[in-house]
Amino acid sequence: MIPSGCVCQSCGAGRLHEVAGFARLPRVTSDSKPFRAGGRLFVCEDCGLTQKIADPKWLEETSEIYRDYEMYYQSGGTDQPVFDAVSGRPMGRCEVLSRHLRDSARLPASGKLLDVGAGAGAMIGAFSTAFPGWRLFGLDLDARKEAALRQIPRFERLYTVPAGELGERFDLITLIHSLEHFREPLAMLKTLQQRLLPGGRLFVEVNNVERTAFDLVVADHLCHFSPASLSALLARAGFAIELVIDQWISKEISLLAGAASAARAAEKRQATPVVAAVEADVAWLERMFDDARAVASRGRFGIFGTSVAATWLASGLAGQVEFFVDEDPARQGRRHLERPVLSPAQVPAGAVVYLAFARPVAETIRHRLAALPVKFALPA
């Protein structure tokens, strides 16, 4: 039963369909730490947004997660590495995004940036390099990372107040994997729209739930966006969409928007296909455990990656995981979940590495590393 008063985070409708079987799955935090099973997942039957409910239990769990939050601790606090199709090598996510924003020629040579959820400054630092004419500001829950931010050229101030209390306005506001964490995303977006200068823009980066089912099991993600549901939410908040693209970073959505003259009602979506797709994803995640356990029982076994998907799968395999494999040099040689992190070339002879990705992505990785003497196992 849906708790009384709970409505869709985007359209406000009260018709939420609960996804069966989700509560059986273990979960993971967005900073890649195992988290217990027991969550609830819903799809709005009016607009199709996939979401959790910000009830007292979810709020208590997220407070627990954020008490010991350590973003990118696997690589010593640096930016999340992604495989850049242009350079052919791992690059920081925010470096890739900043370069694409610069190359799009949609932003002026100078202005004021506010990064919401600034953390240790991954986006601010990358933006500082790509846009040397801009002044830089951050907004976060607390000032724990202020010293790191102060090391970034042209960084001026970290705000730790609610967004509605900001005294300044900005030419660009960025939310890099921040929007999915907010308890009331629509209200937050409306607030941020008021903090834009005339002609200012908002840039949002989130996971694309249509490309990565693992986003569903991130315990502290309230909303799970597709390009359509993200665009609809921004439109309801009063933004005019300029750019929505899912190619800048694999499995993610990049959206650039400006303030519209007025908020508009988004077109009503047929939610039935979304419900079916999410239920199929949950079933696929359940099957992955059985598949990986069978592979692991045959001998030495490792998992590719050290982020959300790899952490989630390892948490459900007890002691069967011997090692992790990562292409990021900053993570190699460290330990994750008390297991060594190897480079692909260091995988022991005869061992199998499980690729915890959607099948097309797993096929791409296996093809790219085909020259290495590594045995890869792919999910069904």
The CA-to-CA distance between both ends of the chain, in Å, stands at 33
Determine the average pLDDT of the residues in 123-135.
Answer: 97
What is the predicted pLDDT for the residue at 5?
72
Q: What does pTM read for this prediction? A: 0.93
What is the predicted pLDDT for the residue at 318?
80
What is the predicted pLDDT for the residue at 267?
59
Neighbours of 21 (CB within 10 A): 12
What is the predicted pLDDT for the residue at 86?
47
| Alpha carbon distances (Å) from 73 to 31, 33, 335, 336 | 8, 10, 11, 10
What is the predicted pLDDT for the residue at 71?
72
Q: And the tokens for 370?
A: 């085909």
| Alpha carbon distances (Å) from 47 to 190, 210, 236 | 19, 15, 12
Q: DSSP of 129-151, one letter per residue?
A: HH-TTEEEEEE-SSSTTHHHHTT
Q: Kindly tell me if the per-residue pLDDT of 159 is higher than 80.
A: yes
Q: Kindly tell me if the per-residue pLDDT of 354 is higher than 90.
A: yes
Comparing 8-12, 28-32, 81-85, 363-367, the range with the smallest average pLDDT is 81-85
Q: What is the mean pLDDT of the chain?
A: 92
Q: How many residues does the chain have?
A: 380
pLDDT in tens, 262-320: 656 555 666 789 999 999 999 999 999 999 999 999 999 999 999 999 999 999 998 89
Residue percentage of the chain with pLDDT more than 90? 80
Q: Report residue 330's pLDDT band, with 50, 70 and 90 as the boundaries.
A: confident
Comparing 138-147, 183-192, 268-277, the range with the smallest average pLDDT is 268-277
What is the predicted pLDDT for the residue at 128?
98
What is the predicted pLDDT for the residue at 69?
85
Domain residue ranges of the chain, discontinuous segments joined by +: 297-377
Determine the average pLDDT of the residues in 34-39.
Answer: 95
What is the predicted pLDDT for the residue at 272?
81
For residues 181 and 380, which has the higher predicted lDDT (pLDDT)? 181
- Per-residue DSSP letter, 49: -
Determine the average pLDDT of the residues in 116-129.
Answer: 95
d(CA 228, CA 49): 9
Q: What is the H or E stretch that residue 290 is in?
A: helix 272-296
Sign of the alpha-carbon torsion through 21, 287, 39, 222: negative
Q: DSSP of 198-252, one letter per residue?
A: EEEEEEEEEE-TTT-GGGGGBTT--EE--HHHHHHHHHHTTEEEEEEESSSSTTE
pLDDT in tens, 214-261: 999 999 999 999 999 999 999 999 999 999 999 899 899 999 999 886
d(CA 149, CA 136): 10
What is the predicted pLDDT for the residue at 1?
62
Q: And the tokens for 34?
A: 């195992």
Pairing verdict, β 196-207 and 252-259: antiparallel
**3-state SS class at 253:** strand
CATH superfamily of 297-377: NAD(P)-binding Rossmann-like Domain (3.40.50.720)
Please check whether residue 159 is in contact with residue 137, taking contact to mean a CB–CB distance below 8 angstroms.
Answer: yes
The residues that bridge with 16 in the sheet, in sequence order, are: 44
Q: Report residue 356's pLDDT band, with 50, 70 and 90 as the boundaries.
A: very high
Of 364, 365, 366, 362, nearest to 380 by C-alpha is 362
For residues 2 and 336, which has the higher predicted lDDT (pLDDT)? 336
